[in-house]
Amino acid sequence: MFSLAGAEPPIALGTLDGRYRDAIAPLVDHLSEPALNRERIRVEIEWLIYLTDNSVISGVGVLSAQEQAALRGIPESFGPQEITALARIEATTQHDVKAVEYFLKERFAALPGRAADDPLTELIHFGATSEDVNNLSYALMVRGAITSVWLPKASAVLGQLEAMARELRAVPLLAHTHGQPATPTTMGKELAVIAWRLRRQLRRIENAEYLGKFNGATGTYGAHLAAVPDAGWEAISRAFVESLGLTWNPLTTQIESHDWQAELYADLARFNRILHNLCTDVWSYISLGYFAQVRGQGTIGSSTMPHKVNPIRFENAEANLEVSNALLDVLAATLVSSRLQRDLSDSSMQRNIGTALGHSLLALDNVSRGLAGLDVAPEVMAVDLDANWEVLAEPIQSVMRALAAQGIPGMANPYERLKELTRGRRIGAAELRAFVDGLGLPPEAASRLRELSPAAYVGLAPRLVDHLDD
């Protein structure tokens, strides 16, 4: 049987590394396997520097400023050669973190004046369990991916949506509840509702905590205390974790509990779901003709129907948001559990963080491109509004209720009277105004209702958009 497995260049199994690689490429620098090893190297180096700078172990030599700079340059220049060298070591160790330790010992020995038997090499990975290195590495990776890649893209899409809401603040729109014509609103106000919801979630994500621990094989500092009994290991651990810009977790098993990850992924999933709501709403508006997809359209909508311009950006975004949420949900649900001190399920699970964020980032890219290709069609909305004068039954019966409460005669049973006039049939301006004229309303109320039209019955909708500036 013909197989593509050995093709050159390698053929991607998944879409993120194939068809959509360009859209998610910035995440590779933060959430790929090489990125994980780069951050492991960074953590190991910073721990070595912290131990020597702070004389944690008496009688131990120090690193010169030049040596520290050279060591810190290793993760900064981590590239194909280093990836290959590390893979060569791991092929022997069959342990990824131990491979990092040996890799760094080789690099340390290569520094001017150092050698393979240099006593300081024993401080590389001193007192650390693999999970001390891994939890800090993942925290740095996820923080970098969120703050440097995902948040800027999400914020840009939110900015697009807010700009549209402001631009369309006064464009009247026939609302639909349960798919039926309802009280008019404005397109700007409806978009502002989604923008407001997304912004709340972004604030939560922006304020996320990234926790870390460095306390040994079972979270007791056992090896640390055995080696250096007089050191203040809790304070050292806290200072080191915080030096990486992370929040110190003082109580853990062998693993950091991952609760912060579950919290973050739940917030990301909620953002995704609100964005999905935007996609389905915009899709519906396109279907109703309220938006036209004309700008930048060089695409083919159908292989046989030339007139079609399909809302593919929003459909693609929907699918990718659903994949992203499936992964974010399982990450949030499973990472908070570990058998006793630890099991390796979290190790395998965390390797899917990049895929989860990748599908979300791809959806954001599609939403951005979709919104950029929309032109509002106020004339279509105006036709729908003018065809649904029955929506004014609401303000008429509300005015009658207020007058009835004031004791004005002839205002009884307003809801039932409007229901009889409007339910199950269309009425026009003439029929509605004739009904108003026959009510015997006070002149001011009658004049106000006669001047009302579906397009003018939008309440405070245009002004409500200003809450985006709060």
Active site residues: 178, 302
* Cα distance from N-terminal residue to C-terminal residue, the chain: 63
Helix orientation angle between 96-109 and 33-53, rounded to the nearest 10 degrees: 60
| Location of structure tokens 């056992």 | 222
| Strand extents, DSSP E, 346-411 | 374-376
Q: What DSSP string runs through 91-117?
A: HHH--HHHHHHHHHHHHHHTSTT--TT
DSSP type of residue 219: S
DSSP type of residue 413: S
> Which residues have C-beta within 8 Å of that of residue 77, sequence separation ≥ 6?
none
Do 42 and 75 touch, CB atoms closer than 8 A? yes
Helices (H), 115-214: 130-145, 151-167, 187-206
Q: What DSSP string runs through 226-292?
A: HH-TTS-HHHHHHHHHHHTT-EE----SSS---HHHHHHHHHHHHHHHHHHHHHHHHHHHHHHTSEE
Other C-beta atoms within 10 Å of 230: how many? 7
Q: Determine whether 263 is exposed, middle or buried from the number of CB atoms within 10 Å of its CB (0-12, 13-18, 19+).
A: middle
Do 320 and 407 touch, CB atoms closer than 8 A? no
